[in-house]
């Protein structure tokens, strides 16, 4: 796909259905290289990418997510909107059907900065924000190469177990999972809010 600029931004879709065709590891490396050209807070590049090809590990991750959401739903069964959440949460483990799942993580804010900045520590240090920008780079690069992707955060309800399964250690925190593969669907562009709904100019 030869697109760039606004055309590329408009071409990107959240793809949740993939073919069985594998994604080459060289391609994944190329996408991560492009992700790593994202801006980052103080140029620390506090991101880390784990590309999961293993069907066994993907299944274990998905099962951990499903189990955690079952717990959340049972504990909150008395809430009025829980049935809607229950229906919605059934898709949070669907990433296991993607040929590759890329776990995007960022270095955790250290105790010194938490002491300095308090509740504003994560926003001030910016590691998760930097990793999110890198994730966007990756998904745009995937689109340019004809791949489909979907950024998932609902799965992070099970972030502790996912972190353990991925072997990330205590110093890293998950920012999102990206399901990646050759698309088996071509979703229509979703409606976007009007510019005057999301933009305010102060003169």
Give the residue-averaged pLDDT of 102-131.
Answer: 93
Give the residue-averaged pLDDT of 18-45.
Answer: 97
**Domain assignments of the chain as residue spans, ordered by start:** 5-185
Give the residue-averaged pLDDT of 35-57.
Answer: 97
pLDDT the model gives residue 79: 77
Answering whether pTM is above 0.75, one says: yes
pLDDT the model gives residue 1: 47
User: pLDDT tens for residues 78-91?
Assistant: 877 778 888 888 88
The two structure tokens encoding residue 177:
């999972």
Domain spanning 5-185: CATH 3.40.50.970: no
pLDDT the model gives residue 4: 53
Q: What does the alpha-carbon distance between residue 78 and residue 117 come to, in Å, rounded to a whole number?
A: 37
Q: Is the pLDDT of residue 3 over 50?
A: no
pLDDT the model gives residue 23: 98
């Amino acid at each position: 796909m030869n697109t760039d600029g606004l055309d590329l931004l408009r071409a990107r879709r959240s793809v949740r259905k993939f073919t069985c065709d594998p994604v080459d590891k060289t391609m994944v490396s190329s996408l991560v290289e492009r992700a790593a050209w994202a801006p980052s807070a103080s140029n620390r590049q506090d991101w880390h990418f784990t590309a999961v090809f293993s069907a066994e590990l993907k299944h274990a991750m998905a099962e951990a997510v499903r189990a955690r959401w079952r717990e959340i739903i049972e504990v909150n069964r008395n809430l009025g909107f829980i049935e809607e959440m229950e229906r919605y949460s059934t898709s949070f483990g669907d990433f296991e059907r993607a040929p590759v799942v890329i776990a995007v993580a960022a270095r955790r804010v250290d105790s010194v900065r938490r002491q300095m900045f308090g509740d504003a520590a994560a926003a001030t240090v910016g590691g998760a924000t930097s990793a999110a920008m890198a994730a966007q780079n990756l998904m745009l690069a995937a689109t340019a190469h004809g791949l489909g992707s979907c950024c998932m955060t609902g799965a992070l309800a099970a972030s502790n177990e996912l972190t353990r399964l991925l072997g990330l250690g205590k110093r890293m925190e998950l920012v999102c999972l990206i399901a990646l593969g050759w698309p088996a669907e071509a979703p229509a562009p979703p409606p976007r809010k009007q510019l005057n709904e999301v933009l305010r100019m102060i003169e």
